[in-house]
Amino acid sequence: MSETETRDFIRQIIHDDLESGKHDSIVTRFPPEPNGYLHIGHVMSICLNFGVAAETGGKTYLRFDDTNPGREKSEYVDAIERDVRWLGFDWDERLTHASDYFERLYEAAVRLVEMGVAYVDSLSADEIREYRGTLTETGKNSPYRDRSVAENIDLLGRMRAGEFADGEHLLRAKIDMSSPNMNLRDPALYRIRHITHQHAGDAWCIYPMYDFAHTMSDAFEAITHSLCTLEFEDHRPLYNWFLDQLQPEHRPRQIEFSRLNLAYAITSKRKLNALVEEQIVSGWDDPRMPTIAGMRRRGYPAAALRQFVKLGGVTKKDKLIEMGVLENCVREVYGETAERRMAVLKPLKIVLSNYPEGQVEMMEAMNHPGNPDMGTREMPFSRELWIEQDDFMEEAPRKFFRLKPGGEVRLRFGYIIRCDEVIKNDAGDVVELRCSYDADTRSGTGSSDRKVKGTIHWVSCEHAVQTDVRLYDRLFTEANPNSAEDFHAVLNPGSLETVSAQLEPALDDLEPGVAVQFERLGYFCRDSVDGQAINRIVTLRDSWAKLEKQAMQQQN
RNA sequence: UGGGGCGUAGCCAAGUGGUAAGGCAUCGGGUUUUGAUCCCGUGUACCGCAGGUUCGAAUCCUGCCGCCCCAGCCA
């Protein structure tokens, strides 16, 4: 961290703890439940937990919080490891599972029972809910609350031994049924689940609850700072209760921060899963998904994601960050690193009537205008070319400086051309343009410095490579689909458009996952899953589109 | 109506008693064979509101308002 940067409140606490000697080194953990793919919200937690440790020479565990086998899968475990690694973080040998601690956790539970602060309840789930009370009414004690220690030990042992059916008994902490904090109204510690665990197999039929397992796992791993999101703030008294009761050797401190919400995106694993299950998207890695896998496939670089969460900061204020911020981070990375190419997304044919038939010239094109070291390539130029439909307007407004009837435009790295004739089909659509080129304006020669207002991109018809290009837009029409009654109602029907594009020859062997800029259009990369189609990662900033939009609004 | 948090410009966010950083967006302008990049410039933020303390408050006190979270044998 540079001297001018200020520390967020968590880094400040950690800095103070190091300075005061409370801790010699920092240990954090990123504890995902393997019940879905990681998304942009997790990116923040990952960067914070791994970042804060790395900055201070500390360590970070990647710990799977796998205490609910009913909805966890090893597919998710694999995806999570892949995603964290791709983001640029390394846990070395510190890959753990809460389930690795099931035996120790059970021992701790037995101790709570022996201490008289945990008991086996035999109420039904419905009864427990009734006994719990509500936000404004206190709960009441379970009739089983005062079972003897001996009886509790016996029952707990038999729960573990598999003598009871799911839901028959429940181990609970004995705290305070009248607490205004619902988490303290005798929270569940262990429930019976006769189900195979994706990591522990069939070793157990009772599984610990989050609060208990998470707190003690933190203690077992000597985590110094247990960083989590705001919704766990009122779990902290319970977290501390476990530590007070069990007095583990290491006492971690839980600190909460606000989660990062991305505008026009959903960050709820349940809803993300619904998008996948209902086949609204092609999978967790659909390029429109705000998952790490989706963004990676889309072509977002890890560095952009890291930069994005860094810009967001760490606070306790609810945040809904604009999509543009993320997109800018992507543009920033690729603006410098991506080679430039030309491709026509929505082709319109032009014929240069005064250009010799059969002639082909090789035009030299820079791979990066700001960095000559990135070299050049050659683009074949011929009589028939594709240009972008949007680059021609029959009745052009004043500020439109692309091609129009009788108007001139430069073909980038090529010649200046003039539009002489517009050819339409029976329906009145423009299907072809007859143009003439100024032979004295070849890029880099003669009077090539003659100025025309506009420059457009092009591809030689004869040499073009036709490929499907997928144009992505936001998945939702509402800035905060998280709070929509039903997210189906705010889905963007135009979130994916596939076009048949014409690419310059040099793009034929574009490797999957390698980002290039299609000049004047945006950043693109070949899809790494199907290896064929090309994904639009993000458009370039487009001030013409902005002008057009403003004009439209003024008309309406 | 119980408890826990949060409220600084459109979106993030510094600032922790001395008179409101920065980024993104916006809006101007310059350069440009990408209307991109780059470079300049651009914002009266009644610091949620109302009182109070103080020579002085976004920062301290009191009251109020708004938003978020909690009643899973989910995490």
Residues 495-534 of chain A in contact with strand B via CB under 7 angstroms: 517, 519-520
Q: For residue A545, what pLDDT is reported?
A: 86
- Asked if the Cβ of residue A540 lies within 7 A of any atom of strand B, the reply is yes
Residue A230 DSSP code: G
Residues 414-443 of A with CB within 7 A of strand B = 414, 441-443
A319 catalytically annotated: no
Which nucleotide is the nearest neighbour of A139, by CA and C1'?
B71
Closest CA to B68 C1' — which residue? A318
Summarize pLDDT for A133-159 with one digit per residue, the tens.
999 999 999 999 999 999 999 999 999
Confidence band (pLDDT; 50, 70, 90) for A553? low
Look at residue A2 and tell me whether its pLDDT is greater than 70: no
pLDDT of A482: 86
Confidence of residue A1 (pLDDT cuts 50, 70, 90): very low
How far apart are alpha carbons A522 and A224 in whole angstroms? 44
The gap between A544 CA and B31 C1' (Å) is 18
pLDDT tens-digit readout, A518-539: 999 999 999 999 999 999 999 9
pLDDT reported for residue A242: 98
Decide if pLDDT at A4 tops 60.
Answer: no
Q: Which two tokens stand for residue A452?
A: 């025309």
- Tens-place pLDDT, residues A32-86: 999 999 999 999 999 999 999 999 999 999 999 999 999 999 999 999 999 999 9
**CB A134 under 7 Å to nucleic chain B:** yes
Write down the ipTM of this complex.
0.96
Q: What is the pLDDT of residue A376?
A: 97
Asked whether residue A379's C-beta has any atom of DNA/RNA strand B within 7 A, the reply is no
Distance (Å, whole) CA A289 – CA A529: 15
pLDDT surpassing 80 at residue A3? no
DSSP, res A181: S
Closest residue to B70 (CA to C1') is: A182
Residue type, A369: P
Q: Does the pLDDT at position A129 exceed 70?
A: yes
The average confidence (pLDDT) of chain A is 95
**Positions of strand B less than 7 angstroms from a protein CB:** 1-8, 10-16, 21, 23-27, 33-38, 67-75
Please report, for residues A79, A303, A499, A501, the alpha-carbon distance to residue A344 in angstroms, rounded to integers and kept in the order given.
35, 29, 10, 6
pTM: 0.96
A483 touches strand B (CB under 7 A): yes
Q: What is the helix (H) or strand (E) element at residue A29, kind and residue range?
A: strand A27-30
Please indicate whether residue A520 is annotated as part of the active site. Answer: no
Whole-angstrom Cα distance, residue A308 to residue A355?
49
User: Cβ of residue A65 near strand B, that is under 7 Å?
Assistant: yes
Q: Which pair of structure tokens corresponds to residue A177?
A: 């049924």
Does any strand B atom come closer than 7 Å to the Cβ of A311? yes
Cα separation, A148 vs A120, whole angstroms:
10
Q: Print the SS3 string covering A143-188.
A: CCCCCCHHHHHHHHHHHHHCCCCCCCCEEEECCCCCCCCHHHCCCE
Q: Per-residue pLDDT tens for A272-321?
A: 999 999 999 999 999 999 999 999 999 999 999 999 999 999 999 999 99
**pLDDT by residue (tens digit) across A410-444?**
999 999 999 999 999 999 999 999 999 999 999 88
pLDDT at position A398, please?
85
Whether A269 is a known active-site residue: answer yes
